[in-house]
Structure 1
């Protein structure tokens, strides 16, 4: 039955790919990242830059300026139109672009709500090709590219490896990880309850719910800013959505062996059933309906949070990123795969919040992220996928300045901290600006596993998690907000879909 289901799925995907190809250029871009990595801000900024840059472009003969000089098709003036179109999947929630843009650019500017479910948005680019177009050769009209942006929580991505693991194997790995020094303290209540549970005892719902609740509490604590751990499947336990309270999300690991015989109505047997239901009813549909159809992918990474939390968080982030890249179906794109079976042929890892560091540290941030993904990148490149790593800020909330401190001129970043943020004894009101001296990242990326990642003094340690408000938006001649400043958003665009606009 499973093989027949897989065959039907592959046939459906191939049919959809052929229809998409003949209908015109289409690219499905996956945007993901673990919690607080900036997925919503990235998509909003990308779409705003594309649609606004064309609308605000001066008439022919006027001076052409762009905030996206590395994005060649735009810099060369070959993109003639950029606008939002209805998304192709009517059953998937629409990405709330207008709402998120209003949050970033309104009078009470603030960061939008983070991604908690899958959503889609289509932005269509019409452009002048530099050469012969395959689709023009087929007589399909003007050259255009429909970019279908698929936004989904990175925590869901970490569930894909579960498809190849039994309940006993997953339980062993999860319990073993929870005994490590970085997790033992926050997992103590759940581990204690698990140790007192008998896998062969008769199942009762109260015990199952208590185990699931304490297990979920452990996952939430591990994800908090204090610990910043990343490898925390099952992902839907942290973002349950409509599944909250369902049996498919009411299970927890128990110590047992593969092939162990358990009584029919035992606690262990029921937990195993619910784990298998989670894989078949939650994980597999996500893979088949959304993830397996992607062409390009960007993975946003809040590396600074892990660096601030120390080596254990960095190691855990490395494990999570390896799992993420292992989940992708990668390979070199060719005409056959484009028409019949899309594969992810380009993946971009982006270390976000680069505006929290001085530009002299951006190369070091990229080097650290490249080091954390080295094993996974080697595997993906071996099958023909192109991978890049950048330091990025889709919206730049700070500016750089030289500030005199104790008689010495130091490089600082300046921005408006969120109300309630503090530097030392000073508490900000959300209006006044503040200058901080960002820590210096290590020159050797291997040092992030050895001790404190950021070289800051005890006095400066409070500055690490300072949150800044988005910058105030400037208005264009039409009194609508212009795109906000960024760091390397154009480089991300060029890598992810610039080649499709040649």
Structure 2
């Protein structure tokens, strides 16, 4: 750990101490991080959570709501002038329009403050007045968390790992074009910016192909979400085989410098300025999408979950330790799109969710943090029905197909009662499931009726909120 890391850590602890002192004198603030990999439904989750906290008719399983102790909930001005505001109103307008559409997915970090006026609980609650708890929701792409392992690697180590992974059976087809072009490149040759750009684009296309195929364990995450760094040297590099010799002006040395710049300019500031301030965290996971994509996608997702969990467990020699003045107190892993299954299979989906993160949770020392797993749907897009199928009742879900708008009914397949059977096939390198697999249908948002006092329909959103912030409202 360098002197810069130590200095940053000291400054972070001073800032956290100042924040803590302010919160003791003023109103407490809970910082909830919301993340997940692509298509997990982060934007929909935050929009529905805020809407259902403002209109709490569907939040009975949230303790303070069920006990009638919440007097009011309201939006506050932006808590951090350096960050974009989460566009709650715009996203809700899309969900509640006469012809509703899903809001755009998360592409960058944003935040929103919600203030909750609550009556404290306890023997002396009648003598105490209402208090205000501020909930700061921080929305950020899960792919950014997957950059964390880069901080422990140098360019040569990362290149070797990335090239070995690209040549694996699960990825070699997606990497074929990039690897073919790489064979024509001499890493020891003098830097040619046209060659550097071609390599960076080919590598980025490979990452995009993996994501499109349902794979999730890849880095650097910002390559697919470049923002204002698009075209910069910090994002113009790719893995290379290490040459026997490489001069200071070689392609290898240039990429090595740019790799270190990426860590310094992109990865560290995110963890220092945002991640290290989070108190509670929910990680949203499209487990059904991975199951539909096949065993390789499930194995990849399992690896991604292990990498993400590492971000919440800074060990004694970790670079991240110096930044972690706060510690994440509660972490919820949620399988989204539970409305794509009949409720009789929700227990199996939750068990699969728990199995996906089980090894990583056992390895991790959370130092007192509570972890949980559940299946939920932030906005319920389907209704359930039972149909007779060969003399047996079959649980189905019905909704509007996203691509055609037609009303359809679907039984996606039966999830295994033993999640280890599914995990076992994934980790053994199986190319496909033994049966017909699992169907996935993309449903359009429901046409909402706008009942006074109720937010969008959901599945277990209130239970998720209770786990994440319920103790702060007592």
Q: TM-score, normalising length from structure 1?
A: 0.86
Q: What is the CA–CA distance in structure 1 between the aligned matches of 2:267 and 2:413, rounded to whole Å?
A: 40
Residue in structure 2 matched with residue 101 of structure 1 by the alignment: 92
* Distance change >3 Å, CA 48–CA 455, structure 1 → 2: farther
Number of the residue aligned with 2:194: 206
| Stretch of structure 1 that moved more, 89-98 or 410-419 | 410-419
Counterparts of residues 261-340 of structure 1 (less than 5 Å): 262-329=246-313
Structure-1 residue corresponding to 2:205: 217
Deviation string 1:366-392 (CA, Å, 9 cap, x unpaired) is 111111101221234552111000001
1:248–1:277 contact (8 Å) kept in structure 2? yes
Q: TM-score, normalised by structure 2?
A: 0.91
Q: Is the 8 A contact 1:416 1:433 kept in 2?
A: yes
Go from structure 1 to structure 2 and tell me whether the alpha carbon gap of 1:216 and 1:413 turns closer, same or farther (over 3 Å shift). Answer: same
Aligned to 1:58: none
Structure 1 position 255 matched with structure 2 position 241: yes
5+ residue gaps, structure 1: 54-65, 332-339, 421-429
In the alignment, the residues of structure 1 paired with residue 407 and residue 390 of structure 2 have an alpha-carbon distance, to the nearest angstrom, of: 20
Q: Tell me, in whole angstroms, the C-alpha distance in 2 between the residues paired with 1:360 and 1:211.
A: 49
For 2:28, the equivalent position in structure 1 comes to 25
Return the match for 1:123 from 114, 126, 132: 114
Query: Contact (CA 8 Å) 2:412, 2:440: kept in 1 or not?
Result: no
CA distance in 2, matches of 1:393, 1:371: 20
- Provide the residue aligned with 1:246 in structure 2: 232
Cα deviation digits, residues 200-248 of structure 1 (max 9, x gap): 1100100100000000000000000xx2001111000111111111111
- Structure 2 residue 438 is matched with structure 1 residue 447: no
* Alignment equivalent of 1:186, drawn from 171, 174, 182: 174
Of 438, 452, 469, the match for 2:412: 438
1 CA distance for matches of 2:218 and 2:148? 12
Aligned-partner SS, 2:53:
helix
Question: How far off is 1:328 after superposition?
Answer: 1.6
| Structure 2 CA distance for aligned equivalents of residues 100 and 133 of structure 1 | 41
User: Compared with structure 1, are the counterparts of its residues 452 and 263 closer, same or farther at alpha carbon in structure 2 (3 Å cutoff)?
Assistant: closer
Instruction: Work out which of the residue numbers 218, 222, 226 in structure 2 matches 1:236.
Output: 222
Give the equivalent residue in structure 1 for 2:13: 10
Higher RCO, 1 vs 2 (CA within 8 Å, ≥6 residues apart): 2
Q: Are the aligned partners of 1:26 and 1:145 in contact in 2 as well (CA < 8 Å)? A: yes
Report the number of matched residues: 457
CA apart distance, 1:21: 3.6
Q: Residue 424 of structure 1 aligns with which residue?
A: none
Q: Which residue of 2 aligns with 1:500?
A: 472
**RMSD between aligned residues:** 2.3
CA distance 1:285–1:132, shift in 2 (3 Å): farther
Structure 2 residues not aligned, in runs of 5+: 316-323
Alpha-carbon distance, 1:419 to partner:
3.2
CA positional deviation for 1:256:
2.0
Aligned counterpart, 1:425: none
CA contact under 8 A between 1:93 and 1:119: conserved in structure 2?
yes
Asked if 1:157 is matched to 2:130, the reply is no
Choose from 113, 124, 128 the match for 2:104. Answer: 113
Q: CA deviation at 1:292?
A: 0.6
Query: Which of 373, 377, 388 does residue 372 from structure 2 map onto?
Result: 388
Distance in 1, Cα, partners of 2:202 & 2:389: 48
**2:409 counterpart of 1:402:** no
**Equivalent residue number for residue 318 of structure 2:** none
Q: Does 1:176 align with 2:164?
A: yes
Residues in 2 aligned to 1:133 and 1:239: alpha-carbon distance in whole angstroms:
51
